[in-house]
Amino acid sequence: MHKMKGQWANRVSDPKEGDFFPTQRSFVDLLINTRLFKKGVKIWEPACGDGSIARAFMERGYSVHSSDLFDHGYGWTGVDFLKARKLKAPHIVTNPPFSLFDDFYHKSRELKAQSITLMCSLPCLGSSLRRYWTLWEPHPPQKIFLIAEKQKVLGKNSMFSHIWCHWGKGVSRDTQFVWLTAKQKPALLKE
């Protein structure tokens, strides 16, 4: 494994094996607690890594299809989401490699997912003018959930705060911005 600095210091895999940053369980629990997804809906986690997102949803009664291009010890491996021709479940929830965030969003739309929920770092919102014109401006998320704590990876805090971006049915020009904290009561939102 290469010695990395900055935001890449939390990577736990060789760069040739994909950007693997395990998702902190508490971040998934915060998302589930919003009750954005009805109990029992089917979810596809196409960058499942070690299964942290999938396990959290399954423990709460959701059906999850888990896949990943690389073998990180969980789900169907060797599955390239960006080459998928068929939707495995109507709702996409994942923490994609940040370098492929836009591609994961556009592929989810191409597959006609009912909802798309992707995690990224907060700087992703303002990372480039190109991203603004190709993603945020034409396809603003309906909800952005800012996680009010830093992610811990291998016992260290990440440099950035993280967000869940959610696109549901229909198109909205008004993005709802919501803070998520561990002290928050469940069911603050309704779709």
User: What are the domain boundaries of the chain?
Assistant: 6-180
- Average pLDDT over the chain reads 83
Which pLDDT does position 150 carry in this prediction? 67
Q: Of 27 and 4, which is predicted with more confidence?
A: 27
pLDDT at 6 over 70: no
Residue 66: alpha-carbon gap to chain centroid: 13
Give the three-class secondary structure for 13: coil
Q: Which fold has domain 6-180?
A: Rossmann fold (3.40.50)
pLDDT at 93 over 60: yes
Which pLDDT does position 132 carry in this prediction? 86
Which pLDDT does position 2 carry in this prediction? 32
Which pLDDT does position 181 carry in this prediction? 86
Which pLDDT does position 86 carry in this prediction? 97
b/e map 160-185, b = 16+ CB within 10 Å: bebbbbbbbeeeeeeeeebebeeeee
Rounded to an integer, the average pLDDT of 107-133 is: 90
Which pLDDT does position 127 carry in this prediction? 72
Lowest mean pLDDT among 38-47, 148-157, 170-179: 148-157
Residue 52: pLDDT band with limits 50, 70, 90:
very high
Rounded to an integer, the average pLDDT of 86-112 is: 96
DSSP string, 15-32: GGG----PPPHHHHHHHH
Which pLDDT does position 121 carry in this prediction? 86
Phi, psi for 69 (deg, rounded to 5): -70, -35
Residue 170: pLDDT band with limits 50, 70, 90:
confident
Tokens (6 digits) for 107: 């592929």
Residue 188: pLDDT band with limits 50, 70, 90:
very low
Which pLDDT does position 91 carry in this prediction? 98
pLDDT at 1 over 70: no
Contact 76, 67 (CB under 8 A): yes
Which pLDDT does position 130 carry in this prediction? 80
If one counts every other C-beta atom within 10 angstroms of the C-beta of residue 58, the result is 15
What is the side-by-side strand order in the sheet with 63-68? 76-77, 63-68, 42-45, 91-94, 115-121, 156-167, 143-153, 176-180
